[in-house]
Amino acid sequence: MKLTKIAAAAAASALALTALAACGSSDGDKADGGSDTVTLWLAGKTDTPPKVEAWLVKEFAAQHKGKNLKVQHIDWGELIPRLNTALQSDKTPDVVEVGNTQAATFTSVGAFTDLTDKLDQLGNNIGPKSFVEAGTYDGKVSAVPYYWGSRYIFYSKKAFKDAGIKVPTTLEGFDQAATQLKSDGNSKFSGFWLPGQDWRNGISWIFANGGDIAKQEGGKWVATLSSPESVKGLTELQGLYEKATTAPKDGKDAEPWTAFNNGEAAMFMAPSWARWSVDKKRAADLGGFALPGVDGGAAPVFAGGSNLGISAKSKNQDLAFDLLKLIYSDEFQQQLAKNGLGPANDKFTGLMGDDEFAKAAVSAASNSKLTPASPEWASVESASIMEEFFGKIANGGDVAAAAKAVDAKLNAALNK
C-alpha cells in the first residue's frame, strides 16, 4: 500500500534525523599530542580570571622557546565525564584542573602522575593542607592545590540597619537575625536565601554542631549524618528552611544572588567570587561576614576550590611539570590572590585585601572542611544523594528518619 511506504519513509527519515542529532555534539576538542604544545584544561569559563590566564600563556611561551601553552575551558558540569574519557586516551590534556572533592576519583585510579618526590620543587609551603590531602591517595600526592575559596555570608547593610540588627557573632544569633528579617519583610522576602537542595551551604550547620558527613573506620566509610550532633544541626537548619527563607525547597546553589539583586533577600551564602555577581547598584549596600560558630568564631564551612594534576598518559611530563612550577611561581600566586582566589602559597594570602570581604574569606577558610576523601564521592554527587536529602529536610520531613535513610545510601555508595 502506498501510504505505508510514505509513512515508512517519513519514519525512517525521522529516525535518521534523531540519530544524526545524537552524534552531532561529539566533535570534541582536539588536543594536540605534539610535544610543542602543552594543553591545560581549566574548569569553568572565567573561574580563572582571563587576565591571569593570559599572563600564564604569555609567560610560558617566553620561558620555553618554540613551545606554547594551550588553555581549554570545560564547564564544571561536564568536567567529570570529560575527564573520565580524556585522561585515558592518547589525546589527553597534559595538565587538568579538578574540583577538590573530585580529585580522589582520579588519584585513586592512577590517572595523575605521582608528584610526591617533586613536591618540594613547587615550594615548601603548599597548602591548604586539606587540599593536599584531597590530592593524596595511598600516601602519594598526585594532585596539588590550585586555588581555594571559602563560603561566607553576604548581607544587605540597609536591611540590617532597618531591622536594628548587628552582625551576629554566634550561630544562634544568626538564625534569630535571619528569622526576624523574614518576618519583617513581605511574603516573598527571605531573611536568608537558602534553597532546599543547596547542601554545600547547609552542611555548615552540621559541621558547626560537631557533626560530619562520614568518617573512616577500619578502612571503611561510615556515614554520620544521623549522629546526634548532625541531627542537632539538621534540626536547626530545618527551622531556617521553615522560618527564614522563601527559596524553593528543591532549589540548588546556582545563582544565589538573584533574589538579593531583586531585593527579595537580606542575606545569602556563597563562595567569595559571588561578590562580582551582585548588582553594581547595590555594591554600597553589600557587606560580608563569616558564618559564626556555635560559640562564636567562624563556623566550619565547606571549602571550595580546585586541584591540579598532570595526566599520567601525557607525553610532555617535563613540560607539564614546568607549567606547574610556573603556576606556583610567586608572580602567579600573587595574581591569584589579588583576584580574590585563595593562593596555594599562603605567603600571599594577605594580598587578597583587607576589606570586610577578604577578612570574611580568610576567617571562613581558617575553619573549612571537605567532603569524605573517598574515590566514590563523585558518584554520590552525580546521584544527587546529598541534594535529595537536604531537599527532604527543607520540605519538612522527619529529620532522624531521613538522616538514617541517607546514611544507608551513603554507606552503600562510599564503600563500593
Partner 1 sequence: MSSTRLTRKAGPYALLVPAILVLVVGMAYPLGRQLVLSFHEFGRAQQFGQPAPWVGLDNYRELVTDRTMWTVIARSLAFCLVNASITMVVGTLVAVLMKRVATAPRLILQISMLLAWAMPVIAAMTAWQWLFDTRYGLVNWTLQKLGFNSFDGHNWLIDPLSFFFVASVIIIWMSVPFVAFTAYAALTQVSEETLEASHLDGATAIQRFRHIVYPTIKPVLTIVMLLQIVWDLRVFAQINFLQNVGGTPSETHLLGTYIYTLGIGQNDYGSASAMAMFVLVLTLALTFRYVRSLLKEEPR
**Residues contacting 305, CB < 8 A, separation 6+:** 99, 100, 131, 145, 146, 147, 148, 149, 342
Q: Is 91 helix (H, G, I), strand (E, B) or coil?
A: coil
> Which residue of 32, 114, 184, 250 would you call a contact of partner 1, by CB under 8 A?
250
Judged by CB under 8 A, the chain residues 94 through 113 that form the site for partner 1 are: 105, 109-111
R_g of the chain, CA atoms, integer Å: 24
Closest approach, Cβ 71 to partner 1, in A, equals 24
**For residues 354 and 81, is the Cβ–Cβ distance under 8 A?**
no
Q: Catalogue the long-range contacts made by 81-85 (C-beta closer than 8 Å, 24 or more residues apart).
A: 83/41, 83/111
Strand partners, 97: 308
Binding status of residue 408 toward partner 1 by CB under 8 A: no
> Which residue of 84, 317, 339, 366 would you call a contact of partner 1, by CB under 8 A?
84
The number of residues in the chain equals 416
Q: Catalogue the long-range contacts made by 340-343 (C-beta closer than 8 Å, 24 or more residues apart).
A: 340/149, 340/272, 340/273, 340/275, 341/48, 341/49, 341/147, 341/148, 341/149, 341/273, 342/128, 342/147, 342/148, 342/149, 342/150, 342/305, 343/147
How many residues of this chain interact with partner 1, rule: CB under 8 A? 46
Judged by CB under 8 A, the chain residues 343 through 402 that form the site for partner 1 are: 375, 379, 382-385, 387-388, 391-392, 395
Binding status of residue 243 toward partner 1 by CB under 8 A: no
Q: What is the DSSP letter of 24?
A: T
Instruction: From 9-17, 219-227, 294-302, 327-335, give the range in contact with partner 1 by CB under 8 A.
Output: 9-17
Q: Cell triple for residue 16?
A: 535518521
Instruction: Name which of 5 and 166 has its Cβ closer to partner 1.
Output: 5
Rounded CA separation 205/231 (Å):
10
* Bridge pairing between strands 301-302 and 368-369: parallel
Q: What is the DSSP letter of 360?
A: H
Report which of 304, 300, 240, 293 is spatially closest to residue 270, judged by C-alpha positions.
304
What binding mask, one character per residue, do residues 11-50 give for partner 1 by CB under 8 A, x or -? x--xx--xx---x---------------------------
Instruction: Name which of 3 and 62 has its Cβ closer to partner 1.
Output: 3
Closest approach, Cβ 17 to partner 1, in A, equals 11
Instruction: Name which of 180 and 246 has its Cβ closer to partner 1.
Output: 246
Closest approach, Cβ 342 to partner 1, in A, equals 28
> Which residue of 28, 81, 228, 296 would you call a contact of partner 1, by CB under 8 A?
81
Binding status of residue 197 toward partner 1 by CB under 8 A: yes
Instruction: Name which of 283 and 383 has its Cβ closer to partner 1.
Output: 383
> To the nearest 10°, the Cα dihedral for 168, 169, 173, 175?
70
Instruction: From 45-53, 95-103, 122-130, 245-253, give the range in contact with partner 1 by CB under 8 A.
Output: 245-253
Instruction: Name which of 115 and 336 has its Cβ closer to partner 1.
Output: 115
Closest approach, Cβ 167 to partner 1, in A, equals 27
Rounded CA separation 387/197 (Å):
5
Q: Is 113 helix (H, G, I), strand (E, B) or coil?
A: coil
Binding status of residue 3 toward partner 1 by CB under 8 A: yes
Instruction: Name which of 11 and 401 has its Cβ closer to partner 1.
Output: 11
Instruction: Name which of 83 and 336 has its Cβ closer to partner 1.
Output: 83
Chain residues binding partner 1 by CB under 8 A are 1-4, 6-8, 10-11, 14-15, 18-19, 23, 81, 84-85, 87-88, 105, 109-111, 187-188, 197, 246, 248-252, 259, 264, 375, 379, 382-385, 387-388, 391-392, 395, 413
